[in-house]
Copies of this chain bind each other. A is one copy, B any other.
Amino acid sequence: MGEGNTYLCKACACSSVSVFKSLSNEEHELLSSKLKCNFYKKGDILYREGSRITGCYCVQKGVLKIYKTGIDEKPQIVAFARPGDITGYRSVLSNEVACTTVEALEDSEICFIPSEIIFALIKKNSDFALSLIQLTCKELNQANSYIKDIAQKTVKERLAETLIMLYETFNVDAEGYITINLTREDLSSIVGTATESVIRILSELKSEGLLELKGKKIKILDLKKMKLISDSIF
């Protein structure tokens, strides 16, 4: 729960990336002057499902996992947030309690943007409003696709799909391993399966020569075949 020092953040990633690109100079000023950055340690919770939040969060540095809590407290990861991404805007804009829990996967640096600013910008700048709409539309479409996949694909196909998504979202380190530190349990919370199934299928994919495993680290050896599996083409 620690949140370290708060400092004013003049020119953080938030103002240069993502939905804020349509802001005028003046509006950027307004935004920057109101931002507060915080440090979060790995495992810290930014906010919990059901709590009321008073602004949204823009990732400067680090990675967040965003999940809903299901049966028996089992989490279902619905998204990640990387530098440049914002989260919490849904609850802010709909003026409802948070519908997900957000947790830092690594030590992170996060800007807080008070609700008023968001609303003011929407009122002032219709391009910004449009950007926000397009952002939510894109996420909505991804969510619908995932519903289709999770309903129709096998666990192996979904795991392949998830690994490809992680590969494309987080890139790889010098050795070719995907640059994100997820436990097997985290993986199962994305794929929507049991942890043991993830483990078994990972080693199956390894024995088929498609993956290399080193502890938690995963390297995709044959992206093409992985895509075939993910697309149920075998």
Contact = CB atoms under 8 A, between A and B. Distances in A.
A124 to B, nearest CB: 8
A151 B150 contact: yes
Contact of A74 (B136, B141, B152): B152
Nearest to A67: B148
Contact of A144 (B78, B149, B193, B232): B78
Interface in A59-87: 68, 70-71, 74, 76, 78
Nearest to A125: B126
A200 interface: no
A76 B152 contact: yes
A45 interface: no
Given A126-B126, A150-B147, A150-B150, A133 B93 contact: yes
A93 B134 contact: yes
Given A74-B152, A126-B122, A68 B144 contact: yes
B99 A151 contact: no
A68 B148 contact: yes
